[in-house]
């Protein structure tokens, strides 16, 4: 068994200040800019000409990789888009936190079909080798098998005891390997929907899978930071490349299965040569925050990455490319240069909300003019039913209550994530910062009116 690879760097103290890495050498570096939130999923077309990016801003970007030009936005998810893949016929599939699988026409950007049936958010979608069947990994503990070119209902693989995070088809499409938070990797027979074997009982949740049937190995990445490979024939461990960085959030093998790329929660990308199971590159692609998504170009020369930054980055990996990391701030300024109110905004609000009148491409509505605005009324934003029916006008009092009690109590059923600001001083400082940076309050937004509006 290959020995463990020692860790290199720990997390930075302030993880919410997103720092993107830039290459100082190596041709082919490309940044895909335009999303309004973190990039959760990436894919490159089989011919290497185009890319898809799935984002927390609910959208999927369709890009030309020759120059990084955005071709169009694919808009239709009602929550974060987590993964997207190319399918034959100038089409794409995507999944998201709205529990939906969507089939897109890439030429027009139109939705061809919205497929529903899962009862939890979908983290990934994978395509069968013949391009006719999609497998969705659901946080309802099920895997869906979809014949997306027909009206046939989905078939379900049931058996995992927790969220399913990833799935990969065998070369002939007859088997499916799945990974779950229950710590197991299982093999299923696609025709009968029967579980055939439990290949791994890891003990911690397994997030990612990589499969090479020709050379007889299965690789996986887990919540505890484990990066391991097992023999398909015996189940024995053949390599442990764990680098003491956790969790492992992304994993992708190149077309020839020679190199395996691994992305972790601390912003590192590790490249593993699977012929010898040694690490050949290890670099920090984000100075804070996770690497959520990886995709190799068909020729293996570059690697597309997505993470906490609003950009996707195409890194030159092959040949003699030399990688360096130089800090570039994506948000405002270093933490020590911020007021406490601004720090609270960056940590709690900035991923979803803009302070500008146009709102950018954020997952949540713009906070410009929020004081005195009735919840659920900003034109052009698609609100949840919970906020559309909420009897709330945003003011000092209602915003303080939102972060004191939490959205799950103040706006139950809304898209707002469950979070609180426990300290009264921190809440007051956030409110003061928002009042200074969100434009004039509306006539009904005075403090004295409070929650009665």
Residue with the bigger pLDDT between 101 and 334: it is 101
Task: Say if residues 145 and 157 touch (Cβ distance below 8 Å).
Answer: yes
Which of 384, 356, 388 is closest to 369 using CA atoms? 356
Residue where the block lists tokens 């030399």:
322
Percent of the chain scoring above 90 in pLDDT: 60
pLDDT for 387 equals 72
pLDDT for 452 equals 31
Residue with the bigger pLDDT between 117 and 433: it is 117
Phi then psi for 425, rounded to 5 degrees?
A: -65, -40
Q: Is the pLDDT of residue 108 over 90?
A: yes
Q: What is the pLDDT of residues 328-345, one digit of tens each?
A: 334 445 666 788 877 777
**pLDDT-based confidence at 8, cuts 50/70/90?**
very low
| Section 354-362 average pLDDT | 74
Q: What is the pLDDT of residues 364-417, one digit of tens each?
A: 788 888 888 888 888 877 777 777 778 888 888 988 888 887 777 777 766 666
Q: Is the pLDDT of residue 185 over 80?
A: yes
Q: Is the pLDDT of residue 449 over 50?
A: no
Question: Following DSSP, what letter does each residue of 233-262 receive, concatenated?
Answer: TT--EEEE---S---EEEEEE-TTSSEEEE
Helix H, strand E, coil C: the string for 125-162 is: EEECCCCCCEEEEECCCEEEEECCCCCCCCEEEECCCC
- Give the β-pairing of 101-105 and 91-96: antiparallel
Instruction: Determine how many CB atoms are found less than 10 A away from the CB of residue 3.
Output: 9
pLDDT for 26 equals 47
* Alpha helix positions (H), 308-423: 340-348, 385-388, 396-405, 407-410
- Across 54-63, 414-423, 424-433, least confident range: 414-423
| Section 405-430 average pLDDT | 75
Average pLDDT of the chain, as a whole number: 85
pLDDT for 448 equals 34
- 3 state DSSP class of 452: helix
Q: Who's near 234: CB < 8 A, 6+ residues apart?
A: none
Q: Report how far residue 77's alpha carbon sits from residue 367's, in angstroms, rounded to the nearest whole number.
A: 22
DSSP label at 80? -
pLDDT for 62 equals 98
Instruction: Determine how many CB atoms are found less than 10 A away from the CB of residue 110.
Output: 11
Q: Do domains 19-329 and 335-452 have the same CATH topology?
A: no
- 3 state DSSP class of 229: strand
Q: Domain 19-329 - what CATH class?
A: mainly beta
What pTM was computed for the model?
0.78
Assign residue 34 a region (left: φ > 0; alpha: ψ between -120 and 50; beta: otherwise).
Answer: left
| Section 114-118 average pLDDT | 98
Phi then psi for 91, rounded to 5 degrees?
A: -130, 170
* Exposed / middle / buried, residue 111 (Cβ in 10 Å: 0-12, 13-18, 19+): middle
| Section 276-292 average pLDDT | 89
- Across 3-17, 172-186, 310-324, least confident range: 3-17
**pLDDT-based confidence at 272, cuts 50/70/90?**
very high
DSSP label at 57? T
Q: Report how far residue 105's alpha carbon sits from residue 91's, in angstroms, rounded to the nearest whole number.
A: 5
Q: What element of type H or E holds 436?
A: helix 424-437
Q: What is the pLDDT of residues 217-260, one digit of tens each?
A: 999 999 999 999 999 999 999 999 998 889 999 999 999 999 99
**pLDDT-based confidence at 264, cuts 50/70/90?**
very high
* Exposed / middle / buried, residue 336 (Cβ in 10 Å: 0-12, 13-18, 19+): exposed
Q: Report how far residue 246's alpha carbon sits from residue 347's, in angstroms, rounded to the nearest whole number.
A: 21
Q: What is the pLDDT of residues 194-225, one digit of tens each?
A: 999 999 999 999 999 999 999 999 999 999 99
Q: Report how far residue 254's alpha carbon sits from residue 275's, in angstroms, rounded to the nearest whole number.
A: 13
pLDDT for 376 equals 81
Q: Is the pLDDT of residue 4 over 70?
A: no
**CATH number at 335-452:** 1.10.760.10
- 3 state DSSP class of 369: coil
Q: Where are the domains of the chain?
A: 19-329, 335-452
- Across 82-91, 342-351, 424-433, least confident range: 342-351
- Across 6-20, 117-131, 172-186, 217-231, least confident range: 6-20
């Amino acid at each position: 068994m290959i020995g463990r690879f020692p860790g290199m760097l720990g997390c930075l103290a302030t993880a919410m200040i997103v720092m993107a890495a830039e290459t100082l050498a190596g041709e082919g570096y490309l940044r895909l800019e335009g999303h309004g939130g973190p990039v959760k999923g990436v894919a490159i077309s089989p011919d290497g000409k185009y890319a898809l990016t799935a984002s927390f801003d609910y959208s999927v970007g369709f890009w030309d990789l020759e120059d990084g030009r955005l071709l169009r936005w694919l808009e239709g998810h009602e929550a974060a888009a987590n993964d997207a893949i190319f399918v034959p016929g100038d089409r794409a599939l995507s999944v998201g936190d709205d529990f939906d699988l969507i089939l897109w026409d890439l030429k027009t950007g139109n939705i061809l079909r919205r497929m529903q049936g899962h009862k939890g958010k979908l983290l990934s979608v994978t395509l069968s080798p013949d391009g006719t069947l999609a497998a969705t990994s659901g946080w309802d503990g099920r895997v869906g098998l979809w014949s997306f070119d027909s009206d046939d209902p989905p078939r379900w693989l049931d058996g995992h005891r927790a969220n399913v995070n990833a799935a990969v088809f065998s070369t002939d499409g007859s088997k499916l390997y799945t990974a779950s938070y229950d710590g197991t990797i299982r093999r299923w027979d696609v025709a009968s929907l029967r579980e055939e074997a439990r290949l791994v009982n890891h003990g911690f949740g397994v997030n990612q899978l990589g499969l090479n049937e020709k050379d007889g190995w299965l690789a996986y990445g887990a919540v505890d930071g484990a990066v391991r490979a097992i023999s398909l024939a015996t189940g024995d461990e053949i390599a442990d490349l764990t680098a003491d960085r956790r969790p492992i959030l992304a994993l992708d093998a190149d077309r020839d299965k020679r190199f395996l790329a691994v992305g972790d929660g601390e912003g590192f990308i590790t490249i593993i040569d699977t012929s010898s199971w040694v690490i050949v590159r290890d670099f920090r692609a984000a100075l804070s925050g996770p690497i959520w998504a990886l995709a190799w170009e068909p020729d293996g020369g570059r690697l597309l990455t997505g993470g906490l930054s609003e950009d996707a980055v195409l890194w030159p990996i092959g040949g003699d490319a030399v990688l360096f990391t130089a800090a570039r701030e994506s948000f405002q300024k270093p933490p020590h240069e911020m007021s406490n109110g601004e720090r609270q905004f960056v940590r709690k609000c900035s991923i979803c909300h803009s302070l500008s009148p146009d709102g950018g491409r954020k997952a949540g509505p713009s906070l410009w003019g929020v004081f005195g605005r009735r919840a659920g009324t900003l034109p052009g934003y698609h609100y949840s039913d919970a906020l559309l029916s909420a009897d709330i006008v945003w003011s000092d009092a209602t915003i303080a209550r939102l972060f004191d009690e939490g959205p799950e109590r103040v706006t139950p059923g809304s898209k707002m994530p469950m979070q609180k600001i426990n300290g009264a001083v921190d809440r007051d400082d956030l409110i003061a910062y928002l009042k200074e940076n969100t434009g004039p309050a509306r006539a009904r937004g005075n403090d004295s009116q409070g929650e009665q509006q």
